Structure 1
Amino acid sequence: MQLELLDWSLIIGFFVISLGIGIFAAKQSGKNSENFFLSGRNMPWWLLGISMVATTFAADTPGLVAGIVREDGVAGNWIWWSFLLTGMLTVFFYAKLWRKTNITTDLEFYELRYSGKSAAFLRGFRALYLGVIFNIIIMATVCLAAIKIGHVIFDFSALQSLLIACSVTLVYSTLGGLKGVLLTDFVQFIIAMTGSIWATIYLVNLPEVNGIENLISHPLVESKTSFFPDFSEPQLFVPLLVIPLAVQWWSVWYPGAEPGGGGYIVQRMLAAKNQNHATKATLFFTIFHYAVRPWPWIIMGLASIILFPDLNSLAKAFPHLDESFVKNDLAYAAMLKYLQPGLLGLVVTSLIAAFMSTISTHLNWGSSYVVNDFYTRFIAPKASAKKQVLIGRLSTVLMMVAAALLALILEEAKKAFDLLLQIGAGTGLLFILRWYWKRINPYSEITAMLVSFVIALVFFLDETYEWELFHFLAYQKLIIGVVLTTIAWVSVSFLTSPVNASKQKDFNTKVFGNVSKFENFGTKTLCFFAGVIGVYGILFASGFFIYQDLIYGIICSIVAIFCFYYIHLKWKIIVR
């Protein structure tokens, strides 16, 4: 692709703005670890919500969604649409609880909820396991997208793409802390959404595609447009719809969709002004993430089927790209070659913005674990504020380097997505119940973590090295992981002693106050269902309007309006 002066001006201008924000936020963020990782706990809901959305709009996400659409149609997206239930559960049951803990990271929860050496071990181990190892894997998948986009657009080698994409992100992340991340996320969100929507409209109207009507009626595309899989074929609708909605959403831990909340989503809740702002931010994120943002990527994936009907056509379009990188998730980047100057620069800038927002969040979140939950907890409890910030910045650099190196050996985003789902299989129910069920203890969490990881590792090695010990489909492996892991941690919960009564009482008093844990449980449950139906209503209404089916679009819109009006009426009860 040939980028003109206007394209380069947009890209360079964005880099300058991002660096400027990092420098602007550096002074305040460098004061202490709370400013560096939580921005002083005074952030408004709208900025936090936009940051959550921007963070989950990674450079690999459009490619992942386009790849899913090419393989399984629009209905294939239920594999992640199902996590809407997880998000709404967090909104109405857990967001305000997280903010009331007043902790620095979600891992600090372990020593708030549990006691003894086992709680301390769990906190320290998870800091390295999630904040370093797991975090590096996630960032590597995002870096993989940068490699593919860099080659398609700039004809860069993998190393060149990583050096350029990672360096600017690393600079403003290490300087500005969470405040720098939040402010750049705001800019990045606007650019990313504008670029993806505008590019989709332009590409759908190419002569080869010839408009939305021709797109959805095209012989290669028509079978891919349904919101739901074919119910006459169990081999399709069971893995694509039944398993995600019946099992996956409550049983699987996945970054950004943790049952009960976790990771960088909780980090933003903890940075909110109060519990009202924390809850609003999470609701805003859930609506935009599932209902507003996906359609440009879906339409792009459908359009790519016309222009690049199979992997061979993708390979022919990019003969110099390593064969291992030619997967369906390459289609989104391949479509960009049809964009005109100016628009190409905006879309490239939007993808760079998506990459930077995700990487910067993961770097700040991961380093918060390293500093707060490992270094100052176990290595240097009396470390000065400046020393803590220094360690945070150093760990940021090291994690970025490790993620970039790992990206060089990955091949496809979907495989990494499936692996992360399998690793988290069976742990989700524990994260939901640990706030309420007193028998859950550190040994329950350690068991869930180890068993799910071992099962995922065995399946991964069997597939990678073609041992052929197991002949299970992906969804069957997920169910096996959920069942075995859940049995293991529930058994351990009954076989070991619960946390002592005084610790339980202190925890309950801090997060629930002097009222019952189940106060207004019915209202919260109704709001949960209203939120789920409302967001799916917006999602389907958008799709119906795009497909030019106005009657169903209007019906879904009316349902969504009623659902959110009910939530509005009950809001004070939810957040008090």
Structure 2
Amino acid sequence: MIIIDWLIVAAVLVVILFGGFYAAKKNSDDKEGFFLAGRNMPWWLLGLSMVATTFAADTPNLVTGLVRQYGIAGNWLWWSFLITGLLTTFIYAKLWRRLGVVTDVEFYEVRYSGKIAKLLRGFRAIYLGVFFNVMIMASVTLAAIKIGTVLLGVDAIVVVVIAGLFAVVFSTVGGFLAVLLTDALLFFLAMAGAMIAAYFAVNHPQVGGLQALVSAPELSEKWHFLPDFSDPNQYVPLLLIPLVLQWWSVWYPGSEPGGGGYIAQRMLAAKNERHAVAASAFFNLCHYAVRPWPWILVAMASLLVFPDLESLRVAFPHVPEHLVQQDLAYSAMLSFLPAGILGLVVASIVAAYISTISTSLNWGASYVVNDFYLRFVNPEANSHRQVLIGRISSVLLMIAAGIIALFLESAMQAFQILLSIGAGTGLLFMMRWFWLRINAYSELAAMIASFVITMILQFGPFEALLDWQKLLLTVAFSTAIWVLVTLLTPACEPQCLASFQTKINSKKPEIQHGLMMTLLSLLFIYGVLFTTGYLLMGLYTMAALIMVVAVALPGFIMFFKRT
């Protein structure tokens, strides 16, 4: 980094801060203004914000680690969540918007009855808004640490303090409107940075261009979209478990079964149902079909430049030993960027970091204020007091995330932790809208069982079990426990259930249409994803065939249905 690089980064930070202060003037001084931007946001702004938020500084690191370890097929660990995302788009987005709550946790006192519903709302607010949220931010901050140590030679603690301070100032000043407005800019900046990084990685002297990268014999097994079906150690954890089990059973940030978290926050902020659906659809298209390939290309190129961990250690001896994992290769490849270009790419990563952290801070603070403080501590708090508590919560959440980030080692480690703790709850989150026998005890049982079983399998005498086997056991036992609790405990009060059904106004034909649209969109988005990959590999016939199927088949089905 030379002066031109620093000037570019500084310019981006100034623009981001300007957006925050501009939004602060536009915000109404109440919780709906601070946390939902007045519920009047258009689909394109919300969609861009969803994509920018999930861009995250740690996502390129995660993809790099997966590709280096398992090849392109390793991405099914997160590609499978497209099924979850599309169900949210075509079924649950409308239901969330009709509910009219401030946070998705407020759902609990609309859907369930009695004191247990109140208890569940408070518990879930802290469980998600604090515990889960801090883990998400810690994972993202870990990526900032790796970039800072590799490119800048800065100590991890310094990175945590500076990055966290900037994100907190931005988030607490501008609120949710600031997040949305700057996310639109940050998306394009982050996408441009990823593509530029891919271009220079592919054209590195040790890589020799795209054709040389694709034809490199040492990478031949890495280019397959599907794992080796002759080896159960490949296809079971990489494809079978994600597509058969993981997508519906695991609560994972940004891919929650039934919708939730900061995705639900954006749907709740939409002008109406149509804007909520369109925002979610746009997000899924960009997230799964548009963004992955620049990261994948950098990861593949890194295998030729840094073929193993030892080569990374030799190249970056100043990086702490515990941080030298497969995901460090993404940051390592950025070190070859020329002056000016390096500043632009680093600025794009800074933008991605701020986008994700500011969203998590605003989202987590909304839980603390709306579903804990206002509900249990000070129900009479005025709007000014609520916003103040939200800002204080943001600061404390960032401090906790920074501390935990210093103890993490890789993006994959954080990914596995979040997957494990959320395992077994996903089916409940989808079924609770329609199976009215589910109650607040069901949800408490699911969360507690998932957490306890995960801890037992992770830290008990089960070292011989593989990660996917632990996930399978957690899902099986957690699901069995919450279903049993559902059947043994009383149902919610009929009056509460009737009110809930009236609000969501869900009809059987609407659900059937949503399922069909999910299937067709699944074909289309996966088709675009694989078509892009085959084009990059120079396999034009296969690319054309996949694209025709992905576009023509859904089109034919829709035409047949209308006639």
CA distance in structure 2 between the aligned counterparts of 1:232 and 1:85, rounded to whole angstroms: 26
Aligned-residue CA RMSD (Å)? 1.5
User: 1:183-262 maps to which residues of 2 (within 5 A)?
Assistant: 183-262=181-260
2:356 counterpart of 1:363: no
CA distance in structure 2 between the aligned counterparts of 1:144 and 1:564, rounded to whole angstroms: 41
User: 1:354-433 maps to which residues of 2 (within 5 A)?
Assistant: 354-433=352-431
Identity of aligned residues (%): 53
CA distance in structure 1 between the aligned counterparts of 2:483 and 2:242, rounded to whole angstroms: 22
Question: 2:139: which partner in 1?
Answer: 141
Question: 2:523: which partner in 1?
Answer: 533
CA distance in structure 2 between the aligned counterparts of 1:475 and 1:461, rounded to whole angstroms: 16
Question: 2:477: which partner in 1?
Answer: 484
2:563 counterpart of 1:558: no
User: Greater CA deviation, 210-219 or 186-195?
Assistant: 210-219
User: 1:6-21 maps to which residues of 2 (within 5 A)?
Assistant: 6-21=4-19
Shift of 1:470: 4.3
Aligned residue type for 2:539: D
Shift of 1:522: 2.8
User: 1:10-409 maps to which residues of 2 (within 5 A)?
Assistant: 10-29=8-27, 31-409=29-407
Matched residue of 1:338: which SS? coil
Answer yes or no: is the 8 Å Cα contact 1:531–1:563 preserved in 2.
no
Summarize the Cα distance change of 1:373–1:563 in structure 2 as closer, same or farther, 3 Å threshold. farther
Matched residue of 1:254: which SS? coil
Summarize the Cα distance change of 1:95–1:569 in structure 2 as closer, same or farther, 3 Å threshold. farther
Aligned residue type for 2:275: H
CA distance in structure 1 between the aligned counterparts of 2:188 and 2:348, rounded to whole angstroms: 9
Aligned residue type for 2:394: T
Matched residue of 1:229: which SS? coil
2:478 counterpart of 1:502: no
Shift of 1:461: 2.2
Question: 2:486: which partner in 1?
Answer: 493
Shift of 1:269: 0.1
What do the CA deviations read for 1:293-318 (whole angstroms, capped 9, x no partner)? 00111111110000000000001111
CA distance in structure 1 between the aligned counterparts of 2:189 and 2:429, rounded to whole angstroms: 35
Matched residue of 1:264: which SS? helix
What do the CA deviations read for 1:328-380 (whole angstroms, capped 9, x no partner)? 01000000111111111111011111111100000000000000000111111
Matched residue of 2:226: which SS? coil
Answer yes or no: is the 8 Å Cα contact 1:100–1:275 preserved in 2.
yes
User: Greater CA deviation, 73-82 or 408-417?
Assistant: 408-417
Aligned residue type for 2:345: V
Shift of 1:106: 0.2
CA distance in structure 1 between the aligned counterparts of 2:500 and 2:552, rounded to whole angstroms: 37
Matched residue of 1:180: which SS? helix
CA distance in structure 1 between the aligned counterparts of 2:41 and 2:126, rounded to whole angstroms: 27
Summarize the Cα distance change of 1:570–1:280 in structure 2 as closer, same or farther, 3 Å threshold. farther
What do the CA deviations read for 1:458-514 (whole angstroms, capped 9, x no partner)? 22324xxxxx444211100000001000000000110111111111111001111xx
Answer yes or no: is the 8 Å Cα contact 1:30–1:389 preserved in 2.
no
Shift of 1:561: 2.6
Aligned residue type for 1:168: F
Shift of 1:566: 7.0
Aligned residue type for 2:514: K
Aligned residue type for 1:375: Y
Answer yes or no: is the 8 Å Cα contact 1:541–1:554 preserved in 2.
yes
Summarize the Cα distance change of 1:116–1:559 in structure 2 as closer, same or farther, 3 Å threshold. same
Shift of 1:199: 1.6
Shift of 1:556: 2.0
Summarize the Cα distance change of 1:567–1:144 in structure 2 as closer, same or farther, 3 Å threshold. farther
Answer yes or no: is the 8 Å Cα contact 1:136–1:399 preserved in 2.
yes
Answer yes or no: is the 8 Å Cα contact 1:419–1:460 preserved in 2.
no
Summarize the Cα distance change of 1:57–1:564 in structure 2 as closer, same or farther, 3 Å threshold. farther
What do the CA deviations read for 1:194-229 (whole angstroms, capped 9, x no partner)? 011122012201221011111122122111010000
Q: TM-score, normalised by structure 2?
A: 0.98
CA distance in structure 1 between the aligned counterparts of 2:341 and 2:417, rounded to whole angstroms: 35
Shift of 1:562: 3.3
User: Greater CA deviation, 528-537 or 555-564?
Assistant: 555-564
Aligned residue type for 1:382: E
Aligned residue type for 2:490: S
Aligned residue type for 2:111: R
Aligned residue type for 1:500: E
Summarize the Cα distance change of 1:336–1:296 in structure 2 as closer, same or farther, 3 Å threshold. same
CA distance in structure 2 between the aligned counterparts of 1:370 and 1:212, rounded to whole angstroms: 49
CA distance in structure 2 between the aligned counterparts of 1:111 and 1:322, rounded to whole angstroms: 47
Summarize the Cα distance change of 1:450–1:272 in structure 2 as closer, same or farther, 3 Å threshold. same
Question: 2:446: which partner in 1?
Answer: 448
Shift of 1:523: 2.2
Answer yes or no: is the 8 Å Cα contact 2:133–2:364 preserved in 1.
yes
Answer yes or no: is the 8 Å Cα contact 1:419–1:456 preserved in 2.
no
The total of aligned residue pairs comes to 562
Match of 2:504 among 502, 511, 530: 511
Shift of 1:23: 0.6
Runs of 4+ in 1 over 3 A off after TM superposition: 562-572
Question: 1:471: which partner in 2?
Answer: 464
Answer yes or no: is the 8 Å Cα contact 1:33–1:388 preserved in 2.
yes
CA distance in structure 2 between the aligned counterparts of 1:334 and 1:570, rounded to whole angstroms: 51
Aligned residue type for 1:517: K
Gaps of 5+ in 1: 463-467
Summarize the Cα distance change of 1:251–1:219 in structure 2 as closer, same or farther, 3 Å threshold. same
Q: TM-score, normalised by structure 1?
A: 0.95
Answer yes or no: is the 8 Å Cα contact 2:201–2:302 preserved in 1.
no
